[in-house]
Amino acid sequence: MSEPKVQPHPCEFVMKSKFILSISLVILLASIATGELVHVAEIDGTINAGVAQYIKRVIGDAEDEGADLVVIKLDTPGGMIEATREIVREILDSKVNIAVYVHKEGGWAFSAGTYILMASDIAAVHPMASIGSAQPIPADNKSINAMASYMVTLAETNNRNSSIARAFVAENLDLTGKEALKKGVIEYAPENLEQLLSELNLSHAQIKEVRPSFQEGLFSMISHPQIVSLLFLIGFLGIIYVIKTGELELSLIPAIALLLGLWGLGTIKFSPLGIVLILIGIALLFIEFSQPGISIFGVSGSISIVLGILTIDAEPFFTPSSDITFFVLGISIAIIVFFIIVAKKVAGSIRERIKTGAEALIGEKGMVVEELRPRGLIKLHGELWTAISSDKERIEVGKEVKVVRLEGNLLYVIKSEG
């Protein structure tokens, strides 16, 4: 016969709970006492000037606050060389240890992202994420050798496998996080941030997530090469429209577009072909503006601009996403259609209004409301006009007159014969 189970005394349960709570509190207080602080930033998308500005601020804040580590969570298809070099320089010069972590299953850090990963003090990649494919565009021998040397230098600075680092550029090699760990180009392959911090003995550190500011997000969008081309398109076509129509009050819009385009222009390179095609397209649309209907100039100019935007070449690592390409092309086509159809009609109506409002007054008849001696006032089409008797003859109030000449807003009239 088995002995009956002894139930724990309620006081014993309470004592155990207090003990566990005390231990947890001690651990928490210990972590607070050590002052461990980790700043976490995230790059999700193309590397550009806005991203570089964001990372510079993150590292600066971490240094000012005495953080133990900055973790840059990375998921990028690539980006621009100047922005990449700026981020790499910030990482290398940082007084705080920088961990770059390609953190998503199925995530990536290709081209520019791999350079940033190699520059970090601690390189970590999710086992099922990918890195590599860092060959520049265009892939000529000079560019490949230069960028391969740069990649090797970054890898050797942090005691990583330089031959694999070179292959990222020279052979467009791709590796998963698991493979990269085995080949010695990264130090960790954690499945999440908590695991990474645990392996770095920072499990109990205070985490501070740092998000991009509004200005950094705006700059990031504007410095995208295809957005810059769109801003220039708006600016140039807007200037043509203002010149042709004389609507100077609208010049603010193209001026702002051009200024924003120039702001972003410092972070990209345009291919000569792309620039020439866009300029040719704008010139053809300028000719189209003076043609009746829609002519070959408008069609060919539109095609030239679209091809120019597609051939806009950013710096060596940039790979434009299909989403932004389709967005920019859609907006560009809409602008061109507006320019060819709507703007031409508006300009035509303005010219017609000038003609009907001024030249068409000649031959029209009005009524004298203030005696012409030889200058006075007449009423014409319900409006008052200053008029002068063309033959210097005095014309009384109530007499009908006919317009024979127009000088500015001054009408020259004679007595109407009937």
Q: Is residue 5 part of a domain?
A: no
* Owning domain of residue 94: 30-217
Q: Name the more confident of 216 and 310.
A: 216
- Measured in Å, how far apart are the chain's first and last C-alpha atoms? 137
The contacts of residue 125 (CB under 8 Å, 6+ apart) are 101, 102, 109, 117, 131, 176, 177, 180, 181, 186, 188, 189
Task: Tell whether 77 and 180 lie within a shared domain.
Answer: yes
Q: Does one domain contain both 170 and 57?
A: yes
CA distances (Å), origin 368, targets 345, 404, 407: 37, 15, 19
Q: Count of alpha carbons within 13 Å of 319, Cβ hemisphere only?
A: 13
Residue 82 shares a structural domain with residue 149: yes
Query: Which neighbouring-strand residues pair with 39?
Result: 70, 208
Q: Is residue 390 part of a domain?
A: yes
- pTM here is 0.59
Per-residue model confidence (pLDDT) at position 180: 97
Domain boundary among 176, 193, 217: 217
pLDDT, tens digit, 9 for 90 and up, residues 281-323: 777 777 766 666 666 777 777 777 776 766 554 444 444 445 5
Q: What is the CATH number of the domain that holds 368?
A: 2.40.50.140
Does 283 share its domain with 207? no
Between 161 and 27, the higher pLDDT residue: 161
Token code pair at residue 14: 């309470």
- Assess contact for 340 and 288: CB atoms under 8 A: yes
> Are residues 376 and 325 part of one domain?
no
Q: Same domain for 95 and 152? A: yes
- Domain-located, residue 13: no
Predicted confidence (pLDDT) at residue 3 exceeds the cutoff of 80: no
3-state secondary structure of 78: coil
